[in-house]
Amino acid sequence: MRIVAVNGSPRKGWNTEKILQRALDGAQSVGAEVEMLQLYAQPFKGCISCFACKRKGNSTGGMCTFRDALTPLLEKVRTADAFIIGSPVYFGAPTGMVRSFLERLMFPVDTYLVDGEGKRVKVLHDTTPSAIIYTMNCPDWLMRQVDYPKLLGSSAEEMARLFGYCETLYACDTYQFSDYDRYDCNMFSKEDKARQRDTHLPIDLQNAFELGRRLAIMAEEAST
Ligand SMILES: Cc1cc2nc3c(=O)[nH]c(=O)nc-3n(C[C@H](O)[C@H](O)[C@H](O)COP(=O)(O)O)c2cc1C
């Protein structure tokens, strides 16, 4: 069983990757082979709207036929038994790179076909459990007030529709700079931020561990 994580943050080793790594640790704890993939290490484009995946009689098998540096990464995700995407929230949305990656991952497994009952024809019939982990600067109460779950929820909804299962984890109030004193920033108290990092990040990490473990167990059950 192979589970991959996609780090959709440009910062290696920061909040998003740390939390993703714990999710992979959780998957590994129940026997999964795991791999972290770095999205920002690849120069790539989003969907170029070639519609090769929608041509009559196409044999793309749900893979994006436009080849660039993203292709090997897409292949690893598509052949994994489960996958987890991590993204920082940028202006109330996933990062642009994550959006571009999702276009290339999801459009080829989506169709413009409906069956006799008007239901969307599926490319994938088996479930591939998936998850999205969002990290963000804003605290939990503000995330709820500005309704980030609604703003951010559409990607997870599409993933659930196309891959059969998707869950979301929100990690709020992340520590953004290694030294707050060196940045123009009086909106946030560095003491509050450090307290949050020391008390809440361990909870996010534990939740991620359990998420990874849960996904790996689901993938194992789906394959037997
Ligand atoms: C360009 C940019 C836009 C951001 N926009 C938001 C935002 O809209 N809401 C929010 O809560 N945090 C925002 N943040 C903060 C990041 O989401 C947060 O620091 C995240 O945890 C960073 O992940 P990383 O540590 O893995 O890089 C933004 C950061 C950047 C660089």
Q: How is 57-82 classified by DSSP, letter by letter? A: T---TT-----STTHHHHHHHHHSSE
Is 13 within 8 Å of 92 (Cβ atoms)? no
Domains held by the chain: number? 1
Q: Is the pLDDT of residue 224 over 90?
A: no
Give yes or no for residue 176 CB within 6 A of ligand 1.
yes
**Is 138 close to ligand 1, i.e. is its CB under 6 Å away?**
yes
Between residues 59 and 224, which one has the greater pLDDT?
59
Which residue, by CA, sits nearest to atom 8 of ligand 1?
A: 91
Q: Give me the mean pLDDT over the 107-123 stretch.
A: 94
**Rounded distance from Cα 165 to ligand 1 centre (Å):** 26
Q: Specify the pLDDT at position 79.
A: 96
CATH number at residue 102: 3.40.50.360
Q: Using 50, 70 and 90 to split pLDDT, how confident is the model at 223?
A: confident
Question: What average pLDDT score do residues 16-45 get?
Answer: 98
Report the 10 Å Cβ neighbour count for 38: 15
Over residues 38-55, the mean pLDDT reads 97
CA of 51 to the centre of ligand 1 (A): 33
Q: Which of 1-5, 71-75, 189-193 has the lowest mean pLDDT?
A: 189-193
What pTM was estimated for this model as a whole? 0.97
Strands 33-38 and 2-7: parallel
Give pLDDT tens digits for 126-176: 999 999 999 999 999 999 999 999 999 999 999 999 999 999 999 999 999
Mean pLDDT over all residues of the chain? 96
Written as six digits, the tokens of 151 are 């703003």
Q: Of 25, 151, 14, 11, which is closest to residue 84 (Cα–Cα)?
A: 25
Ligand 1 pocket test, pick from 90, 143, 144 with the greatest ligand atom count within 8 Å of Cβ, gives 90
* Boundaries of domain holding 154: 2-223
How much is the pLDDT for 28?
Answer: 98
- Mean pLDDT for the stretch of residues 200-221: 97
Is the beta carbon of 11 within 6 A of some atom in ligand 1?
yes
Instruction: Kindly list the distances between the CA atom of residue 149 and the CA atoms of 47, 93, 100, 156, 214, in Å, as whole numbers in the listed order.
Output: 25, 10, 20, 10, 21
169, 208 contact by CB (below 8 A)? yes
Tell me the Cα Rg of the chain.
18
Under a CB-based contact definition with an 8 Å cutoff, are residues 127 and 160 in contact? no
Name the residue with the closest Cα to ligand 1, atom 29: 90
Residue 122 is classified by DSSP as P
Name the residue with tokens 């979301």: 168
Q: Provide the percentage of residues in the chain whose pLDDT is more than 90.
A: 96
Looking at the CA of residue 11, tell me the nearest atom of ligand 1. Answer: 27
- Which residue among 140, 144, 174 has the greatest number of ligand 1 atoms within 8 angstroms of its CB, and so is best to mutate? 174
Q: Give the Å distance between the CA of 46 and the centre of ligand 1.
A: 21
What pLDDT, on the 0 to 100 scale, is given for residue 221? 93
